[in-house]
Structure 1
Amino acid sequence: MTDHKVSLPAKLINGGVAGLVGVTCVFPIDLAKTRLQNQQGARIYSGMLDCLVKTVRTEGYFGMYRGAAVNLTLVTPEKAIKLAANDIFRQKLSKDGKLPLWGEILAGCGAGTCQVVVTTPMEMLKIQLQDAGRLAAQKSATTPTATPEPAPSLVAPQASQSTPRPRPSATNITLELLRTRGLAGLYRGAGATLLRDVPFSMIYFPLFANLNTLGRSDPGCPGDELKRAPFLHSFMSGCIAGSVAAVAVTPLDVIKTRLQTLQKGEGEDSYRGILDCIRRVLTREGPTAFLKGATCRALVIAPLFGIAQGVYFLGVGEELLSLLG
């Protein structure tokens, strides 16, 4: 492939297509991760496979894709911003096609910061939809004698025991949050999202760049963005870098998930902020709770970023723009 600088529109198209393909492939595992991370007291699911089996049994096959519409709608700008911003920062920080390690980390930090604008509302809505099935399963499994006071909902008043709770929709949740809390309601947990995504990008992008360099016929410098490795090597580099970064920031992802979950089950904690969440989880569930969903997260992020980087480096955007031009 001829080496060339890729335009910003092409980068955005590449990132968007990469995100759509990746999310479609791994969304059921992401749903299992959210439900496992939100379990506090009653264990509805014993693990990822048990969660997926019970989801299909009670909600049908498409139950595994609860919240997928929101993710697929917003993942295009989210992944486009993340991948394109990292490339732009790397180009700005490079000199003569060379980028030191500190520059790679700084570029990843910038990319992670930029993406939060889209990531936070996307995660907010996705988590509510993904966790609805767990709450329903917990409610049906609760015996009549169990009477712990449920934590208050931030979305709508608690339904009576005799009235079935309607299934939430992204539109209803969005309108209710905007009505009651304004635009800030969609950005609940933005600090925790930033706390997760910035370290993730600071680990992921430098690690991917250095692994990807090993697949080039002329490796040159890891920071040289004008050379590309074969598709398969970029895919594997994305998988490895993604899984390492995902596991490293899993405790931060647990905190973010707990803070952004608006509807709580019976006896489950609500949190006033990041520090309050850390304290309560440590007190009630112990330090191992911060690793809940780590396997699921690695299984989500590894193929997601493997596919994303592979598709990104295929140059779909350049081909599309050349056809339109």
Structure 2
Amino acid sequence: MAQPNAEPVEDYDYESLPPNFSLLQNMTAGAFAGIAEHCAMYPIDAIKTRMQIINPTSSTVGSGVIQATYRMASTEGILSLWRGMSSVIVGAGPAHAVYFATYEAVKHVMGGNQAGVHHPLAAATSGACATIASDALMNPFDVIKQRMQIQNSAKMYRSMFDCAKYVYRKEGLAAFYVSYPTTLSMTVPFTALQFLAYESISTSMNPTKKYDPLTHCLAGAVAGGFAAALTTPMDVIKTMLQTRGSATDPELRTVNGFMAGCRLLYQREGARGFFKGVKPRVLTTMPSTAICWSAYEASKAYFIHHNNTNAS
């Protein structure tokens, strides 16, 4: 005899986010995805930060990612590649929880969760709104992370809390947000491009929009790498603004915004300077976005399936 409640368990629409997929579960999935994304590729992110600093004195900056990684590990110790990761762990969870909660809410309002229909505008708008909200929370943690990634930071800061106190005491609260407009100039187009590419690629590969780990992984990687390459110039300026307080160059220390940063960078290094660190940025972003989307989609699928099973 067939069980009357078996059908809804097998036939749930994964992409439509049913009512029993709660806000808390969505935020939990997003937090898990964010921490997994940032921690997995953190050492390459540290190399990218070193490469993007203007007039670096660091002996760890080499001509390539492998050479720079070897130099940094051999001169400062292997653990230096993970210095500052605690700030990412503390900030990435809440920031990505807000990120994915905003993404799903805006996409739902714009009709982007309708099964079998592709909504590129809803995907791009949802991604832009999500990053504005999450970056407001994450920006101070990102400043701390980058300060701890530069050479000789171990002599200045014992921990993320020590770094935060030092920056606040020397530069004030504004130091944690001086890069926020520049961050948004990078992350809003980055996220819009990434979400647009992700939704387009995943819909093309998986028209039924059922949970498919391979699709989410490949679509996330390609979308992330594409968006990262195009937004590298803004990332270079962001790094300049977030690390200016530790610079010895008086002109660099007085840079107070995106346009001022662009002028100084072009004056010092020309057009090529705007793409410093593009290789490690893409190398970091492709697997990290693949991990992020895979972790998020897996968590979302688990919660939806778990809720439907309990309901039956």
The reply to whether TM is greater than 0.5 is yes
Aligned twin of 1:263: 246
Aligned twin of 2:168: 178
Distance 1:168 1:291, change over 3 A: farther
Deviation of 1:182 (Å): 4.5
1:234 to 216, 224, 231: 216
User: How big is the alpha-carbon RMSD for the aligned residues of Structure 1 and Structure 2?
Assistant: 2.6
Query: Secondary structure of the residue that 1:188 maps to in structure 2?
Result: coil
Q: How many residues align?
A: 288
| Higher mean C-alpha displacement, 51-60 vs 254-263 | 51-60
8 Å Cα contact 1:132/1:167 also seen in 2: no
1:12 to 18, 23, 27: 27
Aligned twin of 2:298: 314
Which ranges of structure 2 fall in alignment gaps of 5 or more residues?
A: 1-9
Which ranges of structure 1 fall in alignment gaps of 5 or more residues?
A: 137-164, 221-226
Q: Equivalences for 1:46-85 in 2 at 5 Å?
A: 46=62, 47-85=64-102
8 Å Cα contact 1:18/1:79 also seen in 2: yes
Deviation of 1:39 (Å): 4.2
Q: Is residue 122 of structure 1 aligned with residue 112 of structure 2? A: no
Query: Secondary structure of the residue that 2:150 maps to in structure 1?
Result: helix
Deviation of 1:51 (Å): 1.6
Separation in 2 of the partners of 1:32 and 1:266? Answer: 21
Deviation of 1:265 (Å): 4.5
Aligned twin of 2:7: none
Deviation of 1:196 (Å): 1.0
Aligned twin of 1:93: 110
Distance 1:321 1:230, change over 3 A: closer
Q: For 1:308, give the aligned amino acid.
A: C
Q: Is residue 212 of structure 1 aligned with residue 202 of structure 2? A: yes
Identity of aligned residues (%): 25
Separation in 2 of the partners of 1:29 and 1:297? Answer: 8
8 Å Cα contact 1:66/1:129 also seen in 2: yes
Q: Is residue 29 of structure 1 aligned with residue 11 of structure 2? A: no
| Higher mean C-alpha displacement, 292-301 vs 260-269 | 260-269
Deviation of 1:172 (Å): 1.9
Q: For 1:3, give the aligned amino acid.
A: D
8 Å Cα contact 1:22/1:308 also seen in 2: yes
Separation in 2 of the partners of 1:130 and 1:324? Answer: 46
TM-score, normalised relative to structure 2:
0.84
Separation in 2 of the partners of 1:124 and 1:108? Answer: 22
Separation in 2 of the partners of 1:93 and 1:99? Answer: 12
8 Å Cα contact 1:213/1:229 also seen in 2: no
8 Å Cα contact 2:178/2:256 also seen in 1: no
8 Å Cα contact 1:22/1:304 also seen in 2: yes
Deviation of 1:229 (Å): 3.9
Distance 1:29 1:96, change over 3 A: closer
Could you say which structure has the higher helix fraction? 2
Separation in 2 of the partners of 1:310 and 1:9? Answer: 19
Deviation of 1:277 (Å): 0.9
Q: For 1:305, give the aligned amino acid.
A: T
Distance 1:260 1:100, change over 3 A: same
Query: Secondary structure of the residue that 2:13 maps to in structure 1?
Result: coil
Deviations 1:211-231 (A, max 9, x none): 111232xx16xxxxxx33410
Q: For 2:241, give the aligned amino acid.
A: L
Distance 1:321 1:132, change over 3 A: farther
Distance 1:184 1:283, change over 3 A: closer
Deviations 1:94-146 (A, max 9, x none): 0781463222222121112111112211210000000134x79xxxxxxxxxx
Deviation of 1:166 (Å): 3.6
8 Å Cα contact 1:251/1:291 also seen in 2: yes
Deviation of 1:7 (Å): 2.2
Separation in 1 of the partners of 2:160 and 2:35? Answer: 18
Distance 1:39 1:321, change over 3 A: farther
Q: Equivalences for 1:222-301 in 2 at 5 Å?
A: 227-261=209-243, 262-265=245-248, 269-270=252-253, 271-301=255-285
Deviation of 1:234 (Å): 0.3
Q: For 1:89, give the aligned amino acid.
A: V
Distance 1:48 1:239, change over 3 A: same
8 Å Cα contact 1:86/1:110 also seen in 2: yes
Q: For 1:318, give the aligned amino acid.
A: F
Q: Is residue 111 of structure 1 aligned with residue 130 of structure 2? A: yes
Aligned twin of 1:192: 182
